[in-house]
Amino acid sequence: MLFSQSCIYGIRAALLVAIRSQKDSDSFTPIRMIAEELNVSFYFLTKILQTLTKARIMESYKGPNGGVRMAMASEDIYLIDIIEAFDEDKVFDSCLLGLPGCRDDDPCPLHKEWKKSKGQLQKVFQRTSLAKLTKEADRLMFRL
Amino acid sequence: MLFSQSCIYGIRAALLVAIRSQKDSDSFTPIRMIAEELNVSFYFLTKILQTLTKARIMESYKGPNGGVRMAMASEDIYLIDIIEAFDEDKVFDSCLLGLPGCRDDDPCPLHKEWKKSKGQLQKVFQRTSLAKLTKEADRLMFRL
DNA sequence: AAGATTTAAGAGTCTCTTGTCATAAATACT
DNA sequence: AGTATTTATGACAAGAGACTCTTAAATCTT
Ligand code: SF4
Ligand code: SF4
């Protein structure tokens, strides 16, 4: 798997919250509700969303009517932001064979192809905002 | 990381043995020697190479002058064979968000791009034989 | 036959990720 | 004020993957 489980849940939760924020971007969504909709552990999801709030991607609010919401317009949140909040440089600095100290001019046999594919994916995540995905989700009814 | 550590060591060992078999394809290379050259644990590598011999990619021989060698011409061994021996369908059947029961017509928002990048990499592994890499290694002095 | 070398097999350990829980802190409502 | 609701925090348990070690089996050499 390319992403950690935490990262995956984080992306899915962010997408869900972003979709909900289209109708009402001010109110908070309880984590318990998100956990039920995504079918993941409430306890675990709580931990995970804390990293997103610490990264200033989401905001949280305690007490009744509390929960989490996006900290900014979903137009300004890109997938790469969420991924980096969890897996930092672990994904796109990663390499296939895990050799230390590689450079482009001192590569393993697979470096060229890996760099290409990795770069493509990275660009996708850098260019894809939550807003774009929520718009598509409206039309296509994506799975989450 | 895309590949498991076992898979990575397996690929590196296979490359090393394939390179050695250019000069002498009949003799066996002791696992201890491979472990030293690759700078990995001998014990662990022993386990790992057992999966390659079980997959009929390598052959082993016990006793003095024993070790492992490629089971066929390196022209006929493709990276995908080695990868599948370890991570089976875990890599190229894998998905970014890990949702169950996805289909192309019922995807998550990231499915399209992921499928594209994944397919590209898969093709590389399907088309790249050990022989091709050992030839390049001769010219370029790749890292292993 | 005996001893040395080398892989095979299986049990065991370490570490990191994943997941759980109990308790505390903040907020709202009455 | 008191109670219910909801996130925050930190300790803890379970699982998986990575790694180690011991013993057995095969083979060679003398
Ligand atoms: S050359 Fe590139 S792909 Fe190969 S081990 Fe180094 S960083 Fe990884
Ligand atoms: S749609 Fe594709 S990428 Fe998304 S969760 Fe399903 S299989 Fe994975």
The 3-class secondary structure across chain A, one letter per residue, is: CCCCHHHHHHHHHHHHHHHHHHHCCCCCECHHHHHHHHCCCHHHHHHHHHHHHHCCCEEEECCCCCEEEECCCHHHCEHHHHHHHHHCCCCCCCCCCCCCCCECCECCCCHHHHHHHHHHHHHHHHHCEHHHHHHHHHHHCCCC
- What is the number of the ligand closest to the CA of A115? 1
Alpha carbons B45 and B41: distance in angstroms, whole number: 6
Task: Check residue B95 and give its pLDDT.
Answer: 84
Task: Answer whether residue A90 shows pLDDT above 80.
Answer: no
CA–chain centroid gap for A26, Å, is 21
Question: Is A96 in Cβ contact with B2 (below 8 Å)?
Answer: yes
Task: Check residue B139 and give its pLDDT.
Answer: 76
Mutation test of ligand 1: which of A104, A110, A115, A118 has the most ligand atoms closer than 8 Å to its C-beta?
Answer: A110
Query: Could you tell me the fold of the domain covering B5-88+130-140?
Result: Arc Repressor Mutant, subunit A (1.10.10)
Q: Quick one: tokens of A18?
A: 């972003």
Model confidence at A63, in pLDDT bands (50, 70, 90)? very high
Percentage of residues of chain A with pLDDT beyond 90: 69
Model confidence at A60, in pLDDT bands (50, 70, 90)? very high
Residue A90 CA distance to nucleotide D17 C1' (Å): 17
Model confidence at B102, in pLDDT bands (50, 70, 90)? confident
B127 CA distance to ligand 2 centroid (A)? 25
Q: How far is CA B1 from CA A12, A86, B24, in A?
A: 20, 14, 34
CA–chain centroid gap for B13, Å, is 8
- Please list the helix, strand and coil fractions of chain B in percent, rounded to the nearest 5, in that order: 55, 10, 35
CA angle centred on A103, ends A99 and A106, rounded to 5°: 80
Task: Check residue A142 and give its pLDDT.
Answer: 81
Amino acid at A25: S
Q: How many contacts does A have with B, using Cβ atoms within 8 A?
A: 71
Average pLDDT over residues B48-66: 98
As to burial, measured by CB atoms within 10 angstroms (0-12 exposed, 13-18 middle, 19+ buried), residue B62 is exposed
Q: Which residues of A fall within a CB distance of 8 Å from B102?
A: 143
Average pLDDT over residues B133-143: 82
| pTM (2 d.p.) | 0.93
Least confident among A128-137, B2-11, B48-57: A128-137
Percentage of residues of chain B with pLDDT beyond 70: 100
Task: Answer whether residue B143 shows pLDDT above 90.
Answer: no
Where is pLDDT greater, at B114 or B10? B10
Domains of chain A: which residue ranges?
Answer: 5-88+130-140
Q: Which residue is nearest to nucleotide C27 (CA to C1')?
A: A63
Question: Is A1 in Cβ contact with B98 (below 8 Å)?
Answer: yes
Residues comprising chain A, all counted: 144
Q: Which atom of ligand 1 is nearest to the CA of A98?
A: 5
Question: Is A15 in Cβ contact with B109 (below 8 Å)?
Answer: yes
Could you tell me if the CB of A114 is within 6 A of ligand 1? yes
Mutation test of ligand 2: which of B89, B90, B102, B106 has the most ligand atoms closer than 8 Å to its C-beta?
Answer: B102
Could you tell me if the CB of B95 is within 6 A of ligand 2? yes
CA–chain centroid gap for B131, Å, is 13
Q: Quick one: tokens of A75?
A: 């137009």
CA nearest to A74, candidates A87, A55, A53, A58? A58
Q: Quick one: tokens of A73?
A: 């317009």
Where is pLDDT greater, at B62 or B120? B62
Task: Answer whether residue B108 shows pLDDT above 90.
Answer: no
Where is pLDDT greater, at A52 or A137? A52
